[in-house]
Amino acid sequence: MLSNYFKIAIAVLKRRKFFTFISLFGISFTLMIIIVLTALLDHVLSPSYPDVNRDRELYITEVKMTSQGSMSQSPLSYYYFRQYISKLKIPVSIALASEPQATNTYVSNKKIVINIKYTNDQFWDVFQYKFTEGKPYTQQQIDNGEKVIVISEDTRRNYFGDDQHVTGKYIETDNVQYRVIGVVKNVPVTLRYNYGDAFLPYTESKSNLSSHAYEGIFIATLLARNKSDLPRIQEEYQQIVSKVQLNGQYDKVQSYADPYLVVFTRQSVAADDDSQDAGVVKTFSGAGALLFLFLLLPTLNLVNINISRISERSSEIGIRKSFGASSKVLILQFIVENIILTVIGGILGVVLAVVVIQIFNYSQFVDNLHLAVNFTVLFYSFLVSLIFGLLSGVYPAWRMSKMNVVTALKAS
């Protein structure tokens, strides 16, 4: 019986090509968008090179000070890091790093902009960069004030050319010469806490490290021995924050050690939320509602198209009913047709998504960014599309089953 339904469904789809195209386009385009967006989110939010320990990390990205009528919110100063964060006892390593700072350098009269990240030595313990040459700088080299630099593969290619060993050579940027001691694999710009064209000791930063201000250019990443230590680290840090001394201008200070996702939700949707998972539930609820609406639109479109098809197939329905076809049989047939249509649209959507992702990767629209299809998301997206496709066929099928034989034959 199912094979007959399949043959009928294919015949119906081929008979009304325009309606078939509209239906398939809605299903496949929706699924393609979902898969591509989730591939991008998966890249940004899931642990990946060099931030492979993300499930054991907490990020302190800013300190916020307030008083009646005034507020200061900024990344951390070196003084705040040294005075408060470096005294945490539970983390096994604490990375200090700035946001990338653009600097200019020249090669054969050609200007190259190099984004430099200033870090401490523990930065290389927390994040697992792959060195294709050399090694990272040490605390001893930082204390000695050595002019050393670690560069990315892109910077090596742009500054020295391809296929060269550059360890021991010098690179000049912002009128200062640095000795190259390491080359690391490239990191895409989407990883904001890891991206950099070059890495220098924090002592080479042009920020005033001797200032006692709390506002600065740095963020801190705390690495726990295991995941179970994260709540204890957060509690330890909040105890330290409660003891931060303020000058007369401000009377309250807020700063949090957050997991990676919470950093973004606290900054974007829950700036004043004191909870440790600030904004996560709200963000996921909003994303779920948007996804539901996004899937609902093609579903409603399918319902309308199916109702139109019923009107055009009234003669077929009337004849089959007059020969004894039951409402149950007609409903089953119509739902199977809809499922077949949804499956074909889902397959096309997956193929389109793979093609778009490959084009995106090949074009290098974002340097060093390589997206991949998340098969778990793909499976659930396809399943949800199938369910919506099934639901979109129920109401039209019910209307078709209730159609009076005489009315159906007259309508034809």
**For 219-272, what is each residue's pLDDT tens digit?**
999 999 999 999 999 999 999 999 998 877 888 899 999 999 888 888 766 666
Mean pLDDT taken over the chain: 85
Residue 6: is its pLDDT beyond 80? Answer: no
Instruction: State mean pLDDT over 97-102.
Output: 93
- pLDDT of 408 above 70: no
| pTM for this model (two decimals) | 0.81
Look at residue 412 and tell me whether its pLDDT is greater than 60: no
Residue 170 has pLDDT above 90, yes or no: yes
Between the alpha carbon of residue 329 and those of residues 171, 342, 401, the distances in Å are 77, 20, 9
Q: Report whether pLDDT(189) > 80.
A: yes
When pLDDT is cut at 50, 70 and 90, the band that residue 273 belongs to is: low
- The percent of residues in the chain predicted with pLDDT above 90, rounded, is 42
What pLDDT band is residue 45 in, cutting at 50, 70 and 90?
Answer: confident
What integer pLDDT is reported at residue 70 of this predicted model?
Answer: 85
